[in-house]
Structure 1
Amino acid sequence: MRFLPVKKTRWLWLAGFLLLAWLLIVAADRLWPLPLNEVAPARVVVAEDGTPLWRFADTDGIWRYPVTLNDVSPHYLEALIQYEDRWFWEHPGVNPFSIARAAWQDLSARRVISGGSTLTMQVARLLDPHPRTFGGKFRQLWRALQLEWHLSKQQILTLYLNRAPFGGTLQGIGAASWSYLGKPPSQLSYSDAALLAVLPQAPSRLRPDRWPQRAQAARNKVLDRMLAQGVWSATVVKEAREEPVWLAPRQMPQLAPLFSRRVLAKSQGTKIDTTLDASLQRQLEEIALNQESRLPPRSSLAIVVVDHTSMKVRGWVGSVDITDNSRFGHIDMVSAVRSPGSVLKPFIYGLALDDGLIHPASLLQDVPRRFSDYRPGNFDSGFHGPVSMSDALVRSLNLPAVQVLEAYGPKQFAGRLRNAGLPLILPAGAEPNLSLILGGAGARLENIVAAYSAFARHGKAGQLRLLASDPLRERPLLSPGSAWIIRRILAGEEQPLPDASLPKTVPLAWKTGTSYGYRDAWAIGVNARYVIGIWTGRPDGTPVVGQFGFVSAVPLLNQVNNLLLSRASVIKGGLPEDPRPSTVSAATVCWPGGQTLPDGDSNCRRRLSTWLVDNSQPPTLLLPGQEGVRGIRFPVWVNAKGERVAADCPDAKEKMLQVWPLPLEPWLPAGERRAARLPAPSADCPPLQQQNAAPLVLSGVRNGTVIKRLPGAHRVSLVLQTSGGEGRRWWFVNGESLEETGASTTLSLEQPGDYQLLVMDETGQTVTATFTLQ
């Protein structure tokens, strides 16, 4: 039997011991891993330039501003390492010489002179707090060795930069630099670096906003050591010592709270980089607070500003004051679903331009209409008869917009907006209908602003970019030509000009909106660089009488627009230009036909200059039921004398007249009405009047209406008018004839009760309406 030599046996025992020790260390590392990942870490939302906007503390109320080594001034890194741990880059996490020196100093002085902890050991204590006992110290040493094992020196130093205590709820050089000094840690001076390097040693006792003299003495101690070790020159140290330590109370980030809450779920990082402009955000919030006293009780407002060249959100004010519960300040009205009122009208006109239904000078009919139980009216309660598309858009008339939507199709309109990022929210089970264009569906301010960017982005609606990492996404909504034309109309430049006279930089183009019952007031503006969205109203949806877009939202829009155009960055960089697209050309068209006619043509009753897209001149858009003689093209047969005759008369020749649609006659001069335009009938072979008679239409009172008198009023006046029909009118109220024989009359009623109104024309057509007076 052979035995191993004693010397080899000892080596085997040693190897076995080392292997066992290694296995125990690995097992301990697996059983007690480094607590690097927090369950609910502190998070901070920052502006594009790094300014903290809002902080979200961890479960212990601590907030941090995460940084990397490259985010911190080299002066601070020099001061930190030279003062705290000169051999940081060389030791394995524990410096036995420092520990021995600290132990000797403490024993000699019989009090704690220095701790001897390395930066790695300090990080270990921050990650895994422990009691100041022998067992706690051993755990700290173990954690320090773990750190050096798993992480690089740069990673350990980064942990210290983000976990070091700086007083109160502050941790990390980033949070300390912004809170105490109001600037990023990359801009720390020599004096700042020395102060913040020593502050974690006793953060409560050395807080510079509370104990400036203590903080200054500690800072000077660091400066002296930097001079003694030859790290900084005497000149640098002398200038740094001359800076007094006198700081304002610590500032916490308190900008864009509702925006910060919105983006919190969009990112998983501890520092959420956004596209907001911190200085602009601060100014917008000041504008909102200054506006608070002018708002009705329990009312709020919302402002959003987007750079349409990049689609970056630059400002976001979700409520007038987040701390005002009486105004529902915690509700973000930028994201709330509200009735958009008239702010969707530019889109239907732009889409209709692209669809070839209209052009900017198309004749539209602002006349009373009824769609089953839906009878829209204008904001001013009146009607204006014949109007152009551009005029209807500028004046925000309702009936022309309904007419165009009816021709385009509500479902197609809602689908195009949804595809471009502007979904319209309808009640459950409801289908898109004509009320969409007047605010009959819900929409969000953020989506409306994004869609309005299409007017400045050559017809493509961009998606809002809230985070710095968000890519630029856009979807087609309009053609470049129609987008350019609509924007010029909204900017007050609807009349064609030569390119040499046409301003390349478009002034503010804006549109207002007021929802039913004065619940929401809107103003959306597009200037040369920004899209501005304004909303004001009560978040609970209660009506606010007298609140409408032009009065409540436009002044705020102008204030924000002036602020944006006066900013140094805009003045220095200039404003983007918006030249006329090649698809847009100028032309002159005629009413009522809506197309170009040669000079001297009797069918050209009014000439209008306009822009055209692809030189498209669609004929005048008619209402349903206005075909044939009820429309614009009116065929007549005339004899050699020019008299109107029947089609089967001898020598009868057909002549096509362009006449105004019959519903417009109450607003036309007498010489433009159909009776005056038609040739005189021939006595020898008269035309058949009954074939040309248009339907008789009554407006001014609705069948089944209940009319209530104003408080204190004894009489009610009803202004009634008719269109269509032929010849004189006979008016009857409850079977009794009135003296009026014209197309309109005014009823003055005093006695309450039920009334029946009947009107008859010369051809025998009648129309009736029953109503009740209370």
Structure 2
Amino acid sequence: MTAAPTTSGAASRRHRWRLAGAALAVAVLACAAGLAAWVAALGPVPFDRAAEVSTTVVDRHGKLLRAYAMADGRWRLPVHAATDVDPTYVDLLLAYEDQRFRSHGGVDPQALIRAALQFARSGEIVSGGSTITMQLARLLEPRSRRTVGAKLRQIVRALEIERLRDKDQILDLYLTLAPFGGNLEGVRAASLAYFGKEPKRLSLGQAALLVALPQSPERRRLDRHPEAARAARDRVLARMVHEGRISAEDAAAAQAEPVPHLRQPMPLLAPHATDAAAAGRRDGAVIRTTLDAGLQNNLEALARDRLAAMGPDLSVGILVVDHDSGEVIGHVGSPDYFDARRAGQVDMTRAVRSPGSTLKPFIYGLAFEDGFVHPESLIDDRPIRFGNYAPENFDMTFQGTVPVRKALQLSLNVPAIALLDRVGASRLAARLKQAGAALVLPRNEVPGLAMGLGGVGITLNDLVTLYAGIARGGDTLALRENVGADTGEARRLLDPIAAWQVGNVLIGTPPPDNGIHGRIAFKTGTSYGYRDAWAIGFDGRTTIGVWVGRADGAPIPGLVGRTAAAPILFDAFARTGKLPAPLPRPPRGTLIASNPKLPLPLRRFRPAGELVRSGTEQTLHIQFPLNGSQIEAAGLGAAPVPVKVAGGVLPLTVMINGIPAGEIDSRRQRLVAPPGPGFARFTVMDATGAADTVVVRIQ
């Protein structure tokens, strides 16, 4: 009689459990669906925030030259833990912040349980139990309040981050975004601002300090609360001693290290070059230049030291180039970028100035190329007049008859102008332009003889390009400062033999007091009125150019290239840290002989129109075309050009631009095919070796 209720009660309980189970399942499913919807509403992890970093300019080896603050004023530099950060710092960071970083999946359950118990006991969050990944999630999506909801969001994001990135990538992102007080984000920015160095090599005390700062970056800012920062650093060290990770002796030594209380300026090497490289770039770009940070630092120190002794108004430009590649490895635009009195932000390597005598080697080079003079030829240094122009030497004296080699080494003005008169000023200007130099002439002026002594404008950049062309064997390359930039094709400046002869002459130029003879081929120059002092030189590897003067172009009495710029040039070569490389051997076909053994026409330079006397016979002379004339003979189907001569001993050979074009007939004339448009050199040589040359323009 009593069994039925018992059976009915059991059935009822089972029914209630089924209903409860079903309700729980529905609730769980509803929660899961809600959680899934909430997670979906979060959207993708905003990794693009970490891509927003400061623009950085690095040297050829990846060393930082300069960083630029982001558009909002923050400093955040990209960093890779494996290559950019001291392992001691990484070990301390993981030991202090996230000991199981390498093993958990984004969330450390033990740390969360500990944090939950602390919250239950105190009613507030004591420690967040956050892993490095959870902290990264907070940095990617900053929240102003620490709430349970915010913590849940971090957990979800941490799990997503661990699924999308590996541990090394997560650590890199954290080290890039971690706050260090003020506008400093990331361990690189903090190390540079507080210690003045990259975080690749940190002391134990510095590493512990950088571990402590992100926990409370504003209350521990070194430039505002250095004592709070010190206390936090010491707590990190004490805990590491307690856990047996460092010795008490090492911790004591680290605690004795001073805590910086001022920020240091960010690196600022090659400011003019880095400004140019970064122009137009957006935040996040890493720009690699061809510069060498070590050499650049040495050159900037050299510029400051030399100019400090020369006066507060002078500026300097220094350019160092690997002439085989055209890569600029050193670029000093002024001695102090922030010196307003010196106009320090003006890049003097790009300023157009008068070159003084620094164009003379190219006059001699064209004369060597034309074949009417040789380094051992004799040339007169005597008073002479070219129309209304009467050039004089710098010291107002004359040397008489001297070898061409000595005339260039002593930078004598009269021989240079005499050669330019024979070569042609327009031809010199055209050749330099063809080689990549932008000459600036006075308004409404055409190239004239005065350009041989500086009557034209040019930049240090272009002068170095030209001298590097001599060092390269006669071909120039456009200079480049950014890795990957195109230098374009080589452009002709001089033929290889003429280029070698110029270099061979210049290496014998007497050096300044701080130089050694025969190591550097160089030329100095001083512009009219003592406004610009120049020194450009090269060895077998490197070309260096130096300019000294006032940025505003005002004269400086006594400013001379040999005493103001040449010592800086030789010091710059010394600060490359390499011994001067020898110049190349002479090209095949180079005539090397003393003056008595030269062919008769080369023994002495004679101005255009002066005949070469070789004996009792009538002197060889080209009657047509006339030297300096213009001939309308270019283009397809153009009529041949007659070459007429007088005198000389048969047979007579015609050469155009050094290439044989046949023999003169018995009537002492020959029709020759005109070369292409431009300057052409017609030479006739007789059986005795006597020769005459004219230069005409074909158009």
TM-score by length of 2: 0.71
Instruction: Identify which of 567, 570, 582 aligns with 1:555.
Output: 567
Q: Which runs of 5+ in 1 are unaligned?
A: 1-6, 495-503, 598-616, 637-653, 659-774
Q: What is the correspondence of 1:337-486 to structure 2 with a 5 Å cutoff?
A: 337-367=352-382, 376-426=391-441, 431-467=446-482, 475=490, 477-486=493-502
Q: In the TM superposition, what is the alpha-carbon distance from 1:195 to its structure 2 partner?
A: 3.3
Instruction: Identify which of 110, 113, 121 aligns with 2:126.
Output: 113
Q: In the TM superposition, what is the alpha-carbon distance from 1:293 to its structure 2 partner?
A: 4.5
CA–CA distance in structure 2, aligned partners of residues 433 and 150 of structure 1:
70
Q: In the TM superposition, what is the alpha-carbon distance from 1:634 to its structure 2 partner?
A: 7.8
1:513/1:161 CA distance change after superposition, 3 Å: same
Paired AA for residue 577 in structure 1? P
CA contact (8 A) 1:376 1:398 kept: yes
Task: Return 43-52 or 123-132, whichever deviates more.
Answer: 43-52
Task: Return 387-396 or 17-26, whichever deviates more.
Answer: 17-26
CA–CA distance in structure 1, aligned partners of residues 41 and 441 of structure 2:
61
Report whether the alignment pairs 1:633 with 2:644.
no
Q: What is the correspondence of 1:335-734 to structure 2 with a 5 Å cutoff?
A: 335-367=350-382, 376-426=391-441, 431-467=446-482, 475=490, 477-492=493-508, 506-527=518-539, 529-564=541-576, 567=577, 570=578, 575-578=580-583, 580-583=585-588, 584=590, 586-590=592-596, 595-596=598-599, 618=602, 620-624=604-608, 626=609, 630-633=610-613, 654=617
Q: What's the secondary structure of 2:593's corresponding residue?
A: strand
Partner deviation per Cα, 1:43-67 (whole Å, 9 max, x = no partner): 2334455554333211333223422
Q: What's the secondary structure of 2:543's corresponding residue?
A: strand
- Tell me what 1:758 maps to: none
CA–CA distance in structure 2, aligned partners of residues 241 and 391 of structure 1:
70
CA–CA distance in structure 2, aligned partners of residues 440 and 178 of structure 1:
48
Paired AA for residue 404 in structure 2? M
- Tell me what 1:611 maps to: none
- Tell me what 2:253 maps to: 242
Q: What's the secondary structure of 1:175's corresponding residue?
A: helix
CA–CA distance in structure 2, aligned partners of residues 481 and 12 of structure 1:
94
Instruction: Identify which of 260, 263, 266 aligns with 2:277.
Output: 263
Q: What's the secondary structure of 1:586's corresponding residue?
A: coil
CA–CA distance in structure 2, aligned partners of residues 137 and 515 of structure 1:
72
Q: In the TM superposition, what is the alpha-carbon distance from 1:28 to its structure 2 partner?
A: 5.0
Report whether the alignment pairs 1:130 with 2:143.
yes
CA contact (8 A) 1:34 1:143 kept: no
Paired AA for residue 484 in structure 1? W
1:588/1:241 CA distance change after superposition, 3 Å: same
Q: In the TM superposition, what is the alpha-carbon distance from 1:424 to its structure 2 partner?
A: 2.3
Q: In the TM superposition, what is the alpha-carbon distance from 1:520 to its structure 2 partner?
A: 1.5
CA–CA distance in structure 2, aligned partners of residues 361 and 125 of structure 1:
78
- Tell me what 2:333 maps to: 318
Paired AA for residue 239 in structure 1? D
Report whether the alignment pairs 1:301 with 2:281.
no
Q: In the TM superposition, what is the alpha-carbon distance from 1:202 to its structure 2 partner?
A: 2.7
Q: Which runs of 5+ in 2 are unaligned?
A: 1-20, 511-515, 622-699
CA–CA distance in structure 2, aligned partners of residues 131 and 547 of structure 1:
63
CA contact (8 A) 1:93 1:118 kept: yes
Paired AA for residue 176 in structure 2? N
1:381/1:266 CA distance change after superposition, 3 Å: farther
1:76/1:464 CA distance change after superposition, 3 Å: farther
Instruction: Identify which of 76, 82, 99 aligns with 1:70.
Output: 82
1:210/1:287 CA distance change after superposition, 3 Å: farther
Q: In the TM superposition, what is the alpha-carbon distance from 1:538 to its structure 2 partner?
A: 1.9
CA contact (8 A) 2:534 2:565 kept: yes
- Tell me what 1:157 maps to: 171
Q: What is the correspondence of 1:121-270 to structure 2 with a 5 Å cutoff?
A: 121-132=134-145, 134=147, 144=158, 147-148=161-162, 150-206=164-220, 215=229, 217-223=231-237, 225-226=239-240, 232=245, 238-243=249-254, 244-247=256-259, 249-252=262-265, 253-265=267-279, 270=285
Q: What's the secondary structure of 2:455's corresponding residue?
A: coil
CA–CA distance in structure 2, aligned partners of residues 212 and 245 of structure 1:
13
CA contact (8 A) 2:318 2:544 kept: yes
Instruction: Identify which of 285, 288, 291 aligns with 2:303.
Output: 288
CA–CA distance in structure 2, aligned partners of residues 588 and 143 of structure 1:
84
Q: What's the secondary structure of 1:45's corresponding residue?
A: strand
CA contact (8 A) 1:43 1:63 kept: no
RMSD: 4.3
CA–CA distance in structure 1, aligned partners of residues 29 and 611 of structure 2:
107
Partner deviation per Cα, 1:440-490 (whole Å, 9 max, x = no partner): 332221232233223444444454453455588773544454333322322
CA contact (8 A) 1:622 1:631 kept: yes
Q: In the TM superposition, what is the alpha-carbon distance from 1:360 to its structure 2 partner?
A: 0.7
TM-score by length of 1: 0.65
- Tell me what 1:44 maps to: 56
Q: In the TM superposition, what is the alpha-carbon distance from 1:523 to its structure 2 partner?
A: 1.3
